[in-house]
Structure formats: C-alpha cells, structure tokens
Chain A
C-alpha cells in the first residue's frame, strides 16, 4: 500500500490519494458510515455521530490556527457561540437553514479577523490571554444582551428544515457530508501556497517575511478562516437540542477543543478527526462511571499524551509504516 514507486509527473504527486486502494478505503468508510447512520444505528448513536462530525469540523478550525499557523487561541468556543447565535437568530426569523449556517460561519470569521489583530503584536501566553479575554467578553455579552440573545435563558431553536423537516438521521447525514467537505477543503488548503505560508509563519516569522509573506494578511487570514470553520460547526450544533444558552459555549469548551487537537495531533487534519472522535465518543460513552467520568477521561488523555506525544496521528503513522514495510 504505497504511492507507486514511479510517480510519473508532478501533477500525479499532487493527487489527493496515494493510490486507488486508499481512495477505495476512504469511499468504503464513508459509505459504511452513511449506512450505519441511515439504517443501523440506534437513536443515541446517531446523536453521538452527529456531534462527532461537528466537533471534527470545530477541531479542524482550531488546528488550522494553532497547529499550522502556530497562533494560540483559548477563545474558540466563542466562535462556536457566534456561529450558533447568528444562525439561530436568522433561522428563527425565517432564513433558510443553509443560509443561516453560512452567514453564521461568515460572521464568526469576521470576528476571527478582529481577534487576530492583536496577534500581530502578541505571541505565546500573551496572545492566549487576549483570546481568553475575547471568550469571557462574548460569554458576558450573550448573557446580558437579552433583547438579542435571550440572556442566560437562551433562545429556543426551531427544528431543522430544508423544504421538509429533517429527521435526526437525515440531519446526521447532512452534518457528515459537510464534515467530509471541510476535511477535503482544509486538507487542500494546508498543501497549498496558503498552508505553506501559515507553517512558515509558525516556524520562523523572520524568514517568512523575507520570502514575501505579509504577516498582517496571513495571520489575520489564519484567524478568520479558523473562526469561520469553527463557527460553521457552532451553527450546525444548535439543532442537536431545542434551545441554546451561553453555558453551552464556555471556556471549558474552548479547552476541550484544545485537548482534541493535542490528543489527535497538531498540524494534522487527520489528527483533528481522530482527536475529536475520541473525545466526543468518550464524553458520551463512559457514562457508566457517573461522577468519575471526568477522572476516567482525564486518565485516558494523560496516557495518550504520555505514550504518543505526537498524538493519535503519530500512532497511525507508525501503523502505516509497519504495514508498508511488512513482512519485515
């Protein structure tokens, strides 16, 4: 299972899958997931799968910013919130579902641009504090601006509808489709000129500038794209319950996104997928531990980081290498 030893031209080297077998595997996995969600899964599993798909999107958003562009953010739950509230308000007023979701992502992206401006002066822990400030400010604003956001009581969310009302299963399929699109789009972004500029900024700002990368443009762009993608996830998340309120989007949720990409693997789309899947699944399956659920999850995460500092992605690379080299 390897890229053909003979890559005939540079375009072939750029193809999305290393060879047909990988493409078949990906297609097989996607079809399997669709069948599972559409027909086989119990209701609760459908709900969890939807959450996994949406947190995959949110984690990818954060990973673009932190893993690739190297800019820390402790405020990404605020972008989830901005996407969620924007969409809920528009959707309640009668905007079509996908329009509300798109506008939610764009508004979150615009705020991301603004939050990115301090990154031109601040880095590391100082930038973390400024994004933390944003998180707290958004939380307060949502809690107090009752006319718009319903305050601490929050807003009711009408059932999802595209021409007809969507059942949870259909909605899950929609979310999986969007997550798949986001995965491909962001993977493409990371292997393009833009992705190289992000990594260049992360690895060496001085050299990046000397190559002609405009830090003002690319840092704020990283924030805007990252926030828009996370906002997209936030907008889609609202339909998993019948109301939203500020307590759905706290600092703790920001940290959870952070944990997802650390455990999954920084600067990796696959890592974001693995990390989000693991964490969301744990959150919804270890319920037998009741009060000790947090302890159990914490223990698992510590073990993962301890034995696999590169995250789950590191383990994957090792497994892949093993099979490539098999039988040696």
Chain B
C-alpha cells in the first residue's frame, strides 16, 4: 500500500480550478518531485495534504488513514512535516528554539509541570535538545544556533525550516521549493542533504522544484502538473523530455 494516496482531488478558488481530479500514489521511501509552471497547483496540493485547504472533492489517504478533512495539527501528528514556499519561521525565536518547537509533538510536559520545571521536565528538554543538536550538526547550522532567525540570510533560513520539519521525525516530508533563491553550490548541497536524510531516516519525500537539473539529481520519479491537471508521471529522464511537459513549460513553439 502506498504511503500517500490521492484520489480525484479537486479544489476551486472562485472561478479558478486549482486542482482538477488529480490522483497519485507515493510509495514509502520514494523521493518524488512535483513540477509544473507557476499556478499549476503544486502548492495547493501541499496545502490540501497538510489540511490547510479543504478539497472540494476527492480523498487523501495517508498511511491508510483518510486525512481529507483533518486539521493541520492532526496531519502533523500522523507524521507529515513540511516546509513552505515563502519561509514560515518563528521570526523572534532563535534557530535553536525554532527547531525545538518542531519537537512539540514528541514532548509531553503540561502547563503545571512546566511551571515547576522539575527533573522530568529537564530530562525531556535535554532529550529534545540532543535531537535538535544532531540536526544542527547534520545541516551545518551550529553557527546559527543562538541567532534570532529574522537576522539570518535566506539560504540559512531555508535550512532552519528544513531542520524544524525534520525535528518532527516525519514519515512524509513535503518540501515546497527547497532550493528557491539559493546559489548553485547551495543547491548542490541541498540535493545531497535531502538524499542522505531520506535514506538515513527512511523518510518519504515529495518536493516541489523548478530547477530541472536538480529534479533529475534528486528524485526517482517526477509528477507534472499543469493548470491543475496531472499531465505526466514517471522517471525523470522520460518526463523531462515528454512533449506535453515541454509544451507546458516553454510553450508550443519549442
């Protein structure tokens, strides 16, 4: 059974059909790239899966469970973590606190216990801290640990957001344009980081990406959306040379 199964998903905003009968199945431990021109419905699809939007029709199943109508925090609890196209960090927190916030679901402390801050709370905080430090090491972010994220450069923010998503220890990781705005070195690094993480932590990854070279490097499978419809689905070499895909990306004359 696929980890993520989307069936006939449709959603419209006013007169715009953002997604029209989109279906796909993502297998466990795959790295899948979702591509398509601007306005194709990629981010909308992410928002439907994570419960931010509610689809008009269709179903989304995650790990066999119907999550079509679940709220975002419930979907997160089931093991879906994400990053956002326009970086959504907690600006006034340090990088450390941002990533610690990502451990929320793995901690138990209630308000009264927190006020007393007894041994059990300290133990839990220390355990969370240890996990976060591992992620900081892994993503080479130690220098940013105590910096308020609003003062960090763009590429570093992207990595902090990735670390925060990983802190959830998700089964499925949704990355919305993880390399947007990055230099080519940073992009290359991102490819390695994501591939290693997916392998080491056995995470399934679905990512939106515009850079086709990066898509070829990173993913085993590519799904193409255009005007809310799925127009291709397959291995990167086949899909990126597909006539319909090329037409969607660069126009008819190409």
Q: Which residues of A contact B (CB under 8 A)?
A: 9-11, 13-14, 16, 185-186, 188-189, 191-197, 199-200, 202-204, 206-215, 221, 225, 267
Contacts and interface: CB of A to CB of B under 8 A. Distances in A.
B105 A203 contact: no
Contact of B164 (A195, A197, A206, A211): A211
B8 interface: no
B130 interface: yes
Given A189-B115, A203-B92, A209-B51, 11 more contacts: A10-B126, A193-B103, A193-B104, A193-B124, A193-B128, A203-B91, A204-B88, A204-B90, A204-B91, A206-B52, A211-B168
A193 B121 CA distance: 9
Nearest to B124: A193
A29 to B, nearest CB: 21
B93 A196 contact: yes
Contacts of B84: 206-207, 210
Interface stretch (B94-102, B189-197, B232-240): B94-102
Contact of B117 (A188, A206, A209): A188
A196 B104 contact: yes
A14 B122 contact: yes
B77 A204 contact: no
Contacts of B110: 194
A11 B122 CA distance: 7
Contact of B100 (A189, A194, A196, A225): A196
B76 interface: yes
Interface string B29-56: 0000000000000000000001110000
Contacts of A267: 92
B28 interface: no
Q: Is the contact region of chain A dominated by helix, strand, or loop, or is it mixed?
A: helix
A185 B92 contact: no
Given A199-B93, A213-B104, A192 B117 contact: yes
Contacts, number: 113
Contacts of B101: 196-197, 199-200, 208, 211, 213
A10 B81 CA distance: 26
Interface of B: 50-52, 71-73, 76-77, 81-82, 84, 88-93, 97, 100-105, 107, 109-111, 114-117, 121-122, 124-126, 128-130, 133, 164, 168
A214 to B, nearest CB: 5
Contact of B77 (A194, A200, A212): A212
A225 to B, nearest CB: 6
A212 B76 contact: yes
A203 B116 contact: no
Between B82, B90, B107, B109, the greatest number of chain A beta carbons within 10 A of the residue's beta carbon is seen for B90
Contact of A210 (B82, B111, B117, B122): B82
A188 B105 contact: no
A195 B133 CA distance: 20
Given A192-B109, A207-B89, A10 B104 contact: no
For the complex of A and B, list the 6 residue pairs with the smallest distance between their C-beta atoms, beginning with the closest.
Answer: A192-B114, A185-B115, A212-B76, A209-B72, A188-B117, A203-B90
Contacts of A9: 126
Nearest to A196: B101
A234 to B, nearest CB: 19
17 contacts: A10-B126, A14-B126, A185-B115, A186-B115, A188-B117, A189-B111, A189-B114, A192-B125, A194-B111, A196-B97, A196-B104, A203-B93, A204-B90, A209-B71, A212-B76, A213-B104, A221-B111
B88 A211 contact: no
Contact of B168 (A13, A209, A212): A212
A173 to B, nearest CB: 22
Nearest to B80: A210
Nearest to B105: A212
A13 B124 CA distance: 14
Contacts of A191: 117
A188 B114 contact: yes
A313 to B, nearest CB: 14
Nearest to B113: A192
Contacts of B109: 192-194
A14 B88 contact: no
The winner among B71, B102, B116, B117 for most chain A CB atoms within 10 A is B117
A205 to B, nearest CB: 9
A14 B117 CA distance: 10
Contacts of B72: 206, 209-210
Given A11-B122, A199-B92, A211 B104 contact: yes
B114 A193 contact: yes
Contacts of A186: 115
B104 A197 contact: yes
A114 B121 CA distance: 29
A186 B114 CA distance: 9
